[in-house]
Structure 1
Amino acid sequence: MKKLMLILSTITLIGLSGCGNNGHHTESNHHGMNHEKKEKEKQTKVSFTFNQNPKSGENSELVIKVKDSEGKTIKDFEVEHEKLMHLIVVSNDLSYFDHIHPEYKGDGLFTITPNFPSGGKYTLYADFVPKDSAKTVKTKTIQVLGSERSPVVLKEDQHQTKVVAGKEISFKTDELTTNKDITLSFTIKDEKSKKPIRNLQPYLGAIGHVVAISEDTKNYLHVHPMNEDSTGPEAKFMTSFPKSGMYKIWGQFQQNGQKFTVDFTVKVK
């Protein structure tokens, strides 16, 4: 079994202007992250710039620029789970979620055109690893123009089984308390036959990926599986929640070349 890869990022939001903020990250895979790498991570600065004011239903290119504390461009990045950067996009009521991958243009510059289904506030999380530095997450809250939908109130799921893309997915956790290692388990069956699915394909180099975000969007967790080489039906993840409250958890998996995403909302005591 490959070593567990756990990235826990606690984030304080910023306004609409300026660069992405510094996040605090805890690594549980003991890769020997030294003090120098931690300091580099803290000093990394990211700017998020659209070529025009983002509006729902329109294509607005996002440019993400990565620099060090002295304003010098960071040019080299580590490949993590097949990508140089993972960008998580959520609406501020957490009803919308997207996990996309900006294209690296060189010279510290990444570009992508996100999709915004409606107007309103969204939070962007840029997740990457500069060479010889630590896992880094920078965030920005933006206002998207266009018709806004009524906010969706986040409620704890009373049923821990959902049907998505012809799969029946059951979700189970340890007791949800703060600052404790918690196992998150997804069990995936065929919706019609109820037979366990054993032919899941790697998604970004692993059986699956999990992202969890707190109701106020200030706490972000990107968790990699404990059993990376598994093909199902069970996928296990381990994480630790920094604060109590409501969290929405998204699990992403792949079968027969088709990615599917399932979400569960939990309450951490």
Structure 2
Amino acid sequence: MEMNHHHHGHHGQPSPIAMKLIAGGGAIVTGKNTRLVFRPVNSNHPEASVPLSIQHEAAFHLIIVNDQLTSFEHLHPQHDADGHYFIDVTFNQPGKYLVYADYQAEGYAPQTDRLTLEVEGGEQPAPGETNEKRSADTDGLHLAIAATAPFVAGAESHIPVAITKDGKALNAADINPYLGAVAHIIMIGREDKDFLHIHPMSDSRFPIIGHTVFPKADIYRMWIQFKTEGVLHTASFTIQVGNAAAEVATGHAHHHHHH
């Protein structure tokens, strides 16, 4: 099992904390329930338990996507007395999956670690979306990203989202808080699998507005999770993010370094 370490969301020294996937118990097969067991480990004190802080009503947010970014799950593993976190999952398609552990060890900055899993059995999934898709339909709701300008890397991007039901616009009052925020937006780049987790706001015009800075030009898959009338909805989009014009004009290749 490949452990791909990837910290996100803070600068400076790499954190000594890493989320380890310690059990899968043999091959993971499609259609079969699998228990994933994780343990946060401090490399300076490998045997010590690492307490996690509660962020957005959970100590551990687990995002699982397939390599094509066509399947998405946002889960919250349970905690046992030994400092392990576990969750039962069933994978419907074979292939490579990316597992993002989004958490904060007490006394450290929040971080996101990326791990990979291989799932066996069955037909490989179709390739993912590459065409831009700025609208989505889910549970009788229509969502549309109201920005028309192209998104560019390295600049503050605003992502206003209009939501309608039966042709009638929803406003901020129609949205129920989900995990301590208006909504949760997860974005993952197709090429480098860069991970962004955004907590959007509302205003008088749009029930959901995300603000972020895309780290580099890529095709990003975006999932918005939000609640109305107590029901959780997940809507998916595909966003093309280009290079900033200044970078193109001056040809600053060093802006595209890989982490």
Which bracket does the TM-score occupy, shorter chain normalised?
0.7 to 0.9
Aligned residues: 238
Instruction: Tell me the SS of whatever aligns to 1:61.
Output: strand
The answer on whether the counterparts of 1:211 and 1:223 sit within 8 Å (CA) in structure 2 is yes
Paired residue type of 2:9: H
Say if 1:75 and 1:24 are closer, same or farther in 2 by CA, change over 3 A. Answer: closer
Percent identity between the two aligned chains: 26
* Uncovered stretches (5+) of structure 1, i.e. residues with no partner: 1-15, 27-34
Contact 2:188 2:220 in 1 (8 A): yes
The answer to whether residue 216 in structure 2 is matched with residue 243 in structure 1 is yes
2:170 alignment counterpart: 196
Deviation at 1:175, TM superposition (A): 3.7
Name which of structure 1's ranges 131-140 and 50-59 shifts more when overlaid on structure 2. 50-59
CA distance, structure 1, for counterparts of residue 38 and residue 78 of structure 2: 10
* Matching residue's letter, 1:267: Q
Structure with the larger RCO, 1 or 2 (CA within 8 Å, 6+ apart): 1
C-alpha RMSD over aligned residues: 2.1
AA partner of residue 72 (structure 2): F
- The normalised TM-score by structure 1 is 0.81
Contact kept in structure 2, 1:200 and 1:231, CA below 8 Å: no
Contact 1:182 1:240 in 2 (8 A): yes
The alpha-carbon distance between structure 1 residues 231 and 129, as it changes in their structure 2 partners (threshold 3 A), is farther
Contact 2:175–2:207 at 8 Å: present in 1 too? no
Distance 1:85 1:157 in 2: 31
1:66 equivalent among 37, 40, 43: 40
Q: Which runs of 4+ in 1 moved over 6 A?
A: none
Q: Distance in 1 between matches of 2:89 and 2:157?
A: 32
The 2-side partners of 1:152 and 1:172 are apart by 27
Identify which of 1, 5, 9 aligns with 1:25.
9
Matched, 1:51 2:51: no
Letter of the 1:218 counterpart: K
1:267 has 2:240 as partner:
yes
Following superposition, the deviation at residue 233 of structure 1 comes to: 5.0
Aligned to 1:96: 71
Structure 2 stretches lacking a partner, 5+ long: 243-259
